[in-house]
Amino acid sequence: MEYVDPLGVVRTDHARTVIVASYTFETVRLLLLSGGLGNATGQLGKHFMVKQWGDVYAHFPDTVFNAHTGPAAQMVTLDDFNAADFDCVANGFVGGASLNVENQQLPLQIARDPVPPDVAAWRRPYQEHLRRWPHIMAVRIQPDSLSYTTDHLDLDPRYRDRSGLGIPVLRVTTDMRPNEHRLQDHMQQQCTRILERMGAVQTWNGPRFRGVASSHDLGGARMGDDPRSSVVSRDLQVHDTPGPVRVQRRHLPHLHRDQPAPDPHGHHRPSHRAADPRPSR
């Protein structure tokens, strides 16, 4: 394996196996810069997916939530809308979502939270809104993100990194599709219904599609048995370079609504489940 170190010196390492595990963007970029390693059938960089978060906020004037306490991972999750008996097709979309209430909402974070539509985001109305932050909670929507051929990663034809070597940066092409908007519409309605049943006096929707570069980006090196539609095998070996090169964490065929585990073995469970035929979908 030959590479250029941070000082611009060309280095060579010898190994029986090379594991490319530099997160989604840099892994795909490294493969593209290595003569298109894994791109013999034009699949490298295809099927990019992101966590398409959404939130519904609510005001409870008589309740203090202390949302700053506890770690974020100590969340409460409702899985009714991604269970096996949830008929997503009957609701006009494919996929499901988990609904979460998270902790560790530090006070400084409220500066980035959306305000209700009747509150101006500056001066006295905004200040008054911030003062009632202890009485505001949000339900976070974590939906499935399906794989689309139109969403992809490639080398930017214009912009270069800061190495001084003229190396292209990665370009991201992605967007929400009609199916995901319908899914979010439905889940926002369910969140609003739940919050109003809890006693909220006001609810409002946050923005969608907040997940790009959020540490939950997947795809670009799809796993599959057919090299014509994938980059790596089920053993994570690059199809067109069998043996020495393995790619990790970029291979899921779709982005599951639950968090993908850091352990590569943990990824196989949702991947195989996603490949199973499900008559209800």
Whether 130 contacts 169, CB under 8 Å: no
| Residue 8 within a domain | yes
> CA–CA separation, 270 vs 69, rounded Å?
31
Amino acid at 98: S
> CA–CA separation, 274 vs 182, rounded Å?
20
- In this structure, are 117 and 72 located in the same domain? yes
The domain tally of the chain equals: 2
Q: Whole-model pTM?
A: 0.82
- In this structure, are 34 and 90 located in the same domain? no
Show the beta-strand stretches assigned E in 61-151: 76-78, 97-101, 136-143
pLDDT at 186: 97
Q: For 196-234, how does the pLDDT look when each residue is reduced to its tens digit (9 = 90+)? A: 999 999 999 999 876 676 768 888 999 899 999 999 988
- In this structure, are 69 and 126 located in the same domain? yes
Chain centroid, CA 249 distance in Å? 12
- In this structure, are 221 and 120 located in the same domain? no
Q: Give me the half-sphere count of Cα atoms (radius 13 Å) on the Cβ side of residue 5.
A: 6
Alpha helices in the chain (DSSP H): 23-33, 123-131, 178-198, 264-275
- In this structure, are 71 and 156 located in the same domain? no
Most confident of 171-175, 176-180, 184-188, 244-248: 184-188
Residue with tokens 């008559």: 279
| Residue 135 within a domain | yes
- In this structure, are 26 and 122 located in the same domain? no
| Residue 211 within a domain | no
pLDDT band at 252 (very low <50, low <70, confident <90, very high): low
pLDDT at 156: 97
Q: Which residues contact 162 (CB under 8 A, 6 or more apart)?
A: none
- In this structure, are 160 and 22 located in the same domain? yes
Mean predicted confidence (pLDDT) in 180-207: 96
Rounded (5°) CA angle 174-179-182:
120
| Residue 280 within a domain | no
pLDDT at 248: 63
Distances (CA, A) of 21 to 71, 104, 172, 275, 279: 27, 29, 19, 23, 35
- In this structure, are 77 and 9 located in the same domain? no
Q: For 18-64, how does the pLDDT look when each residue is reduced to its tens digit (9 = 90+)? A: 888 888 899 999 999 998 889 999 999 999 988 888 999 999 999 99
| Residue 42 within a domain | yes
Chain centroid, CA 226 distance in Å? 25
- In this structure, are 181 and 168 located in the same domain? no
Domain residues for 78? 54-146+177-205
